[in-house]
Amino acid sequence: MNIEEALKTENAYYAGEFDAAVVGAGHAGCEAAHACAKLGLNTVLFTLHLDSIANLPCNPSIGGTAKGQLVREIDALGGIMGKVADSCCIQMRMLNRSKGPAVYSPRAQMDRNSYSHAMKCLLEKTDKLLIRQAHITELLTDDGRVCGVMTESHAVYRASKVVICSGTYMESRTIRGEVIALTGPDGLSRSVGLSASLAEAGVPLLRFKTGTPVRVNGRTVDFEKLTRQDGEHDIPPFSYDNEMRGGKVPEEQVPCWSVWTTDETREVIEANMDRSPLYSGVITGIGPRYCPSIEDKFMRFADKNRHQIFVEPLGRDTEEMYLQGFSTSLPEEVQIKMVHSLPGLEHAHVQRSAYAIEYDLVDPLSVRPTLESKVIEGLYTAGQVNGSSGYEEAAGQGIIAGINAALSFLGRKPLILDRSQAYIGVLIDDLVTKGTQEPYRMMTSRAEYRLFLRQDNCDLRLTPIGHEIGLVDDERYKLFEEKYKKIDEEKERLAATYIAPTDELAELLESVGSVRPPSSVSLAELIRRPQVSYELLATVDKGRKPLPDDVIFAVQTDIKYEGYLKLEKDKIAKFAELENKKLPRDIDYEAIGGLRLEAGQKLNKMRPENVGQASRISGVSPADIQVLLVYLELKKRENRDGRQ
Amino acid sequence: MDMTVSDSRPFCACSTPPGTSGIAMIRVSGEGAGKILDRCIRIIRTSSDAERISDMPGYTSAYAEFYDPSDKSSIDKVIITRYTAPHSYTGSEMADISCHGGTAVKQEILSVLISLGMRYAEPGEFTKTAFTAGKLDINEAEAVMSVINAESEAALKAANSQLNGRLSKRLAEAEDLLYRAMALIEMIVEFPEHDDTPENDSEVISLTTEARDIVAGLRDSYGKGRILTESLRIALCGLPNSGKSSLLNALAGYDRAIVTDIPGTTRDTLELTTQIKGIPVTLIDTAGIRRTGDKVEAIGVERARQACADSDLTIYLAACDEDADEITAQMKELFENNDNSKVTLVFSKSDLGINPGGDKIRQAAQDLNITAIAEVSSEETIRDEAGLAQLKDLITDYYEKAGGSSSSDIIVLAKRHSDLLAAAAEQLDMAISTATDGLGVDIMSSVIRAALDNIGKITGKTVSAELADTIFAGFCIGK
């Protein structure tokens, strides 16, 4: 349907023109709309529920392993998730502290209602951005190109860029045992018609499922029987901007709790498995392996007698608690029995039921690395609609989709982050190159270069890019430059400052299990020793000036891991070789002798941007890649010889 | 679209080494090769009723006459084996022409083929074509290289086993161990709050250590692999007429060097490749050097020193009839300040008597840390002597020890493999020490990943841009 056809429908009216329209105000939609508006596009953001903007319908937390890195990357590019999360944080922890800086992962508990409210206020105050509560039922296209959207009430909006961030709302249904409700998450109304409109335009769709656990009233929980888990304070906030301005995580934090399932839990589940929609066949969507329901855990890991459950507050003032790890789609009455089988929760009052949710999504293999559709020009998709799971994964795609929609509108070069630059790059490359069979969760192990993709250097990796694009303002960029100038200067000073192997030094080193150096050594050499920290050397390092924590952390990490980082940089250089070999768009892969049939077909279908991306397509073997390389080389020689 | 669109003419090359030989083989490949051969080959006898080469079924041979179509003159009687696409080494139409091995015959046949529209093959083009046609994986292609270069039976055996994928299989075991280690690390890192997560990294370390041992063993086996492909080098030195040539001939098993009793006959270094107990050996006969003020002799000393340094083993001969002072002086010149553990002192011409200064020579050897000492005669009987057997044992011992700790029967033949394995082994050592140093598991997994990348470059699981070219450039023309 195009604009003219839309305007001919019953009661239709023309509602105006925007440069960009963003459909859905979840974590992806908020970042996308904010990026578009900041880059100068007149932007409209549609949401089904104004009071549920940036909703956290599952975990009341942001960050965690790999996800924490994503939040900081978004912030470094000039996104908003980190700042909003900092302002609503009620507990913060740094996971994996003992496992090395590459996998340090910040995670924060959020005050759920504050988060949604803060995001709404921020967007309302953003220039060039308008928010509109409306139900988009139709994508308008003209000759394979996006031209606008139409609402349920037949308001017709013209826009040459449309970013769809529909989350889990398209044609969704929620399931508790035998009870099926045609709603979105949290009992909110769902999106109807949009996915049919996409399908009609030729966009391939998939159907996934995910789920969420029950919430209980904390006043009915006996916390004496639970293990308490407090937050930490010596952690930088998510946002680099806040960190560089001396921002800290909140002094007063709220505890989380943990508890183990019991034999009774298992018995309740086993006795009711026949009522599980997953096992009875009611649910057909594909669920995530990484976030299985509790009944799934008991069924698939039959040798494990118990599972750990975390009890997390939904806010500072509310008594509502979230049971992480207790997701289920069993019937309500079974859910209550299951909760009561947990020690300390024998009398817990369930405020909200757990449910499974099924939804329509776009097959990410039909999406380009810019997040523009291969099928419809000007259409971008981001977030769970592309097959991911998680708020952070959604926001990471949202900012890229928003940036690329804007850059394309402005006639500028698109932004594609590669696998060596950012977790966001890994995430998008995985989705659009390999596709996914289940809701895709970011994990640090998916990144080949994670020593370099750390949570502490996202700004080094991405802030210059954000500044060049125009999302990071000059003032913040200046702070960034000053920070790295201090880091470089301090590293130089430590490398050039030698100290004698005095008794004082030896005593200090021996106190941490290290040994006296044979002769004068530089401070950098000492810091490179596994047991020695920058802080330890304070008493012997006479020329030291006070420096901010982030600078010290970066200096210490760079020095300690220099050799390993170099190894990783060499790998990145190798990786770049294949990434830089562009594949012309007009190659007929099936006509290349030597490519296996399957590989030829896959490559013709996927049309990768470069040899690196081609090498990651399933069904394309390393030998096929060698053939492609030989082919490109022959073509190059042919062209060169042809010119002579 | 053909892969060789740049020049789609069939190509040809002589597949046997240059120079004169009994029989030579010329290989042609490419669509239309048969039609071209029809114009210069007349079938005399073949198993099918084909009258032309292009009508012959694949995998059949013919006895035929190769002639020059310009004047119909006969060039040679040949045996031709025909292959039809895609059932050939290169995947396209192909033929092997076995002709007599004179240089002139080969040249004439090739120039006829060129005149009829073929072109010379580029280096490695047959294998490259086979590879791009999906006929070979990278490992196989490299093993083919080794087959070409392998000079001895033992090398052929090792290369064949590699063709059959035994190296890949062994490496797959190491990869499997490392993937298990990585998976454990990921559990530790990814699910820090998960109750399944291992308490510590001891299992990670033991898996990595096991993999390191496999990789290091294979790396060490290249010590043998190098000898099999390049041969074990033994320098023979001593004063003129000290019996070097006699010993060389005795070791080689036939009269290769001219043996005379005129001192200084072997003026330049002379190399001879032979096999001793199945091990390819290159014997280097250095010029016998008299101590004079002669400038040429000074160069000779330097050359001998260099030959010793470049060799796996060095044999210094001390004849019974030479002046002990001159011998010890030369030994000093050649061996002073060197690691002489690979040097053997041989008292030669033992049938002619005992060197009166023998004790002096032994003392000099001891001062130079030369501990291996043998004794051989000058006569024909040398071949049956214990001294010679002792030297041969020295060679086999050296070969066995060249494999280092490697107990495996898989021998790595390619230098490239050995370099990659060495890098991987070093990285795995690094990974293990990061764990014992208490650095984070993130570093460990990064280093293990780097090692896996290096192993993957052998098994073909990692793709790197320069690989194909490096491999193909190593091929000799015609294979």
Average pLDDT of B357-376? Answer: 87
Comparing alpha-carbon positions, the chain B residue that sits nearest to A627 is B132
Is the domain defined by A581-643 classed in CATH 1.10.510.10? no
Asked whether residue B143 is assigned to any structural domain, the reply reads no
Spatial contact of B113 and B36, defined as CB atoms under 8 Å apart: yes
Look at the block and give the residue holding tokens 């119909």.
B72
pLDDT confidence of residue B442: 84
Look at the block and give the residue holding tokens 């015959």.
B105
Looking at the complex, report in whole angstroms how far the Cα of residue B143 sits from the nearest Cα belonging to chain A: 16
Comparing alpha-carbon positions, the chain B residue that sits nearest to A596 is B134
Looking at the complex, report in whole angstroms how far the Cα of residue A634 sits from the nearest Cα belonging to chain B: 7
Spatial contact of A85 and A395, defined as CB atoms under 8 Å apart: no
* Contact flag B189-A578 (C-beta cutoff 8 Å): no
Indicate the pLDDT class of residue B440, thresholds 50, 70 and 90: confident
pLDDT confidence of residue A630: 74
Please count the helices (runs of H) and the strands (runs of E) in chain A. Answer: 22, 21
**DSSP classification of residue A183:** -
Looking at the complex, report in whole angstroms how far the Cα of residue B362 sits from the nearest Cα belonging to chain A: 42
A chain contacts of residue B191, beta-carbon cutoff 8 Å: 65
Looking at the complex, report in whole angstroms how far the Cα of residue B447 sits from the nearest Cα belonging to chain A: 7
Task: Show the domain range for B44.
Answer: 11-135
Spatial contact of A160 and A67, defined as CB atoms under 8 Å apart: no
* Contact flag B132-A630 (C-beta cutoff 8 Å): yes
Q: Which residue out of A310, A420, A626, A631 would a mutagenesis test of the B interface target, given it has the greatest number of B Cβ atoms within 10 Å?
A: A626
- Bridge partners (DSSP) listed for residue B68: B73
Q: What is the CATH number of the domain that holds B307?
A: 3.40.50.300
B chain contacts of residue A586, beta-carbon cutoff 8 Å: none
* Contact flag B132-A638 (C-beta cutoff 8 Å): no
Instruction: Identify the domain boundary among B135, B167, B184.
Output: B135
Which residues touch B60 (CB under 8 Å, ≥6 apart)? B46, B47, B48, B50, B81, B82
Of B3, B91, B437, the CB nearest to A631: B3
B chain contacts of residue A527, beta-carbon cutoff 8 Å: none
Comparing alpha-carbon positions, the chain B residue that sits nearest to A104 is B189
- Mark whether B370 and B237 lie in a shared domain: yes
Indicate the pLDDT class of residue B70, thresholds 50, 70 and 90: confident
* Contact flag A451-B441 (C-beta cutoff 8 Å): no
pLDDT confidence of residue B410: 81
* Contact flag A101-B440 (C-beta cutoff 8 Å): yes
- What number of CA atoms fall less than 13 Å from residue B298's CA on the CB side? 3
Task: Tell me which amino acid residue A265 is.
Answer: T
Instruction: Identify the domain boundary among B346, B378, B410.
Output: B378
Identify the burial level of A526 via C-beta atoms within 10 angstroms of its C-beta, where 0-12 means exposed, 13-18 middle and 19 or more buried: buried
- Mark whether B374 and B243 lie in a shared domain: yes
Instruction: Identify the domain boundary among B135, B163, B197.
Output: B135
In tens, the pLDDT along B400-428 reads 888 876 666 788 877 778 889 999 999 99
Comparing alpha-carbon positions, the chain B residue that sits nearest to A571 is B450
Spatial contact of A309 and A180, defined as CB atoms under 8 Å apart: no
- Mark whether B123 and B257 lie in a shared domain: no
Nearest to A210 by CA among A360, A394, A26: A360
Whether the predicted pLDDT of B1 surpasses 50: no
How far are the Cα atoms of A259, B208, B292, B352 from residue B266, in angstroms, in the given order?
89, 54, 17, 22
* Contact flag A65-B189 (C-beta cutoff 8 Å): yes
B49 touches chain A (CB under 8 A): no
- What number of CA atoms fall less than 13 Å from residue B87's CA on the CB side? 8
In tens, the pLDDT along B25-54 reads 999 999 999 999 999 999 999 989 999 999
Whether the predicted pLDDT of B2 surpasses 60: no
Query: What integer best gives the mean pLDDT of chain A?
Result: 93
Nearest to A578 by CA among A523, A644, A529, A632: A632
**DSSP classification of residue B17:** P
In tens, the pLDDT along B282-301 reads 888 876 666 555 555 666 77
- Bridge partners (DSSP) listed for residue A17: A158
**B 423-442: CB under 8 A from A:** 427, 434, 437-442
Comparing alpha-carbon positions, the chain A residue that sits nearest to B192 is A96
A chain contacts of residue B446, beta-carbon cutoff 8 Å: 102, 450-451, 564, 567-568
Whether the predicted pLDDT of B478 surpasses 50: no
- Bridge partners (DSSP) listed for residue A498: A522
**B 123-162: CB under 8 A from A:** 128, 131-134, 137-138
Task: Tell me which amino acid residue B425 is.
Answer: A
* Contact flag A448-B465 (C-beta cutoff 8 Å): no
ipTM of the complex model:
0.75
d(CA B464, CA B475) in angstroms, rounded, equals 19
Indicate the pLDDT class of residue B4, thresholds 50, 70 and 90: very low
Of B182, B461, B466, the CB nearest to A622: B461
How many domains, in total, are found in chain B? Answer: 2
Average pLDDT of A623-636? Answer: 76
pLDDT confidence of residue A176: 92
Of B6, B134, B446, the CB nearest to A623: B134
How many CB atoms are located within 10 Å of the residue B38 CB?
A: 16
Asked whether residue B175 is assigned to any structural domain, the reply reads no
- Mark whether B373 and B237 lie in a shared domain: yes
* Contact flag B461-A101 (C-beta cutoff 8 Å): no
Whether the predicted pLDDT of B134 surpasses 70: no
- Bridge partners (DSSP) listed for residue A521: A499
Nearest to A6 by CA among A155, A193, A161: A155
- Three-state DSSP state, A311: strand
How far are the Cα atoms of A105, A309, A546, A553 from residue A235, in angstroms, in the given order?
10, 25, 18, 11
Indicate the pLDDT class of residue B261, thresholds 50, 70 and 90: very low
In tens, the pLDDT along A42-52 reads 999 999 999 99
- Domain positions in chain A are 3-463, 474-571, 581-643
Q: Which residue out of B5, B129, B426, B443 would a mutagenesis test of the A interface target, given it has the greatest number of A Cβ atoms within 10 Å?
A: B443
* Contact flag A443-B5 (C-beta cutoff 8 Å): no
pLDDT confidence of residue B473: 47
pLDDT confidence of residue A285: 67
Looking at the complex, report in whole angstroms how far the Cα of residue A632 sits from the nearest Cα belonging to chain B: 10
Asked whether residue B109 is assigned to any structural domain, the reply reads yes
- Bridge partners (DSSP) listed for residue B348: B319
A chain contacts of residue B1, beta-carbon cutoff 8 Å: 588, 591-593
A to B CB pairs, distance under 8 Å: 141
- Mark whether B125 and B236 lie in a shared domain: no
Comparing alpha-carbon positions, the chain A residue that sits nearest to B186 is A445
Whether the predicted pLDDT of A30 surpasses 80: yes
A chain contacts of residue B460, beta-carbon cutoff 8 Å: 622-623
Each residue of A138-170: b (16+ CB within 10 Å) or e?
bbbbeeeebbbbbbeebbbbbbbbbbbbbbbbb
Whether the predicted pLDDT of B342 surpasses 70: yes
Asked whether residue B103 is assigned to any structural domain, the reply reads yes
Indicate the pLDDT class of residue A38, thresholds 50, 70 and 90: very high
Looking at the complex, report in whole angstroms how far the Cα of residue B142 sits from the nearest Cα belonging to chain A: 14
pLDDT confidence of residue A495: 95
Asked whether residue B167 is assigned to any structural domain, the reply reads no
d(CA A182, CA A624) in angstroms, rounded, equals 47
Q: What is the CATH number of the domain that holds B85?
A: 3.30.1360.120
Give me Rg for the CA atoms of chain A. Answer: 27
Look at the block and give the residue holding tokens 């060095």.
B314
The number of residues in chain A equals: 644
Average pLDDT of A251-258? Answer: 95
Residue A362 token pair: 């776009």
How many CB atoms are located within 10 Å of the residue A65 CB?
A: 25
Angle between helices A474-496 and A549-560 (to 10 degrees): 50
In tens, the pLDDT along A167-200 reads 999 999 999 988 999 999 999 999 999 999 999 9
pLDDT confidence of residue A56: 97
B464 touches chain A (CB under 8 A): yes
Which CATH number does A474-571 carry? 1.10.10.1800
Look at the block and give the residue holding tokens 């928010």.
A131
* Contact flag B132-A627 (C-beta cutoff 8 Å): yes
Look at the block and give the residue holding tokens 């500028």.
A412
Indicate the pLDDT class of residue B193, thresholds 50, 70 and 90: low
Percent of chain B with pLDDT over 90: 21
* Contact flag B446-A102 (C-beta cutoff 8 Å): yes
Whether the predicted pLDDT of B470 surpasses 60: no
* Contact flag B442-A304 (C-beta cutoff 8 Å): no
d(CA A370, CA A405) in angstroms, rounded, equals 9
- Mark whether B248 and B367 lie in a shared domain: yes
Looking at the complex, report in whole angstroms how far the Cα of residue B159 sits from the nearest Cα belonging to chain A: 21
Whether the predicted pLDDT of B472 surpasses 80: no
Percent of chain A with pLDDT over 70: 97
Asked whether residue B1 is assigned to any structural domain, the reply reads no
Q: Which residue out of A93, A260, A630 would a mutagenesis test of the B interface target, given it has the greatest number of B Cβ atoms within 10 Å?
A: A630
A chain contacts of residue B471, beta-carbon cutoff 8 Å: none
CATH of A3-463, one of 3.30.470.20, 3.90.1660.10, 2.10.10.100, 3.50.50.60: 3.50.50.60
Comparing alpha-carbon positions, the chain B residue that sits nearest to A615 is B463
Task: Sort strands B313-319 and B343-348 into parallel, antiparallel or unpaired.
Answer: parallel
Average pLDDT of B246-255? Answer: 73
* Contact flag B442-A307 (C-beta cutoff 8 Å): no
Looking at the complex, report in whole angstroms how far the Cα of residue A290 sits from the nearest Cα belonging to chain B: 10
Comparing alpha-carbon positions, the chain A residue that sits nearest to B132 is A594
Nearest to A259 by CA among A323, A210, A319: A323
pLDDT confidence of residue A621: 77
pTM as predicted: 0.78
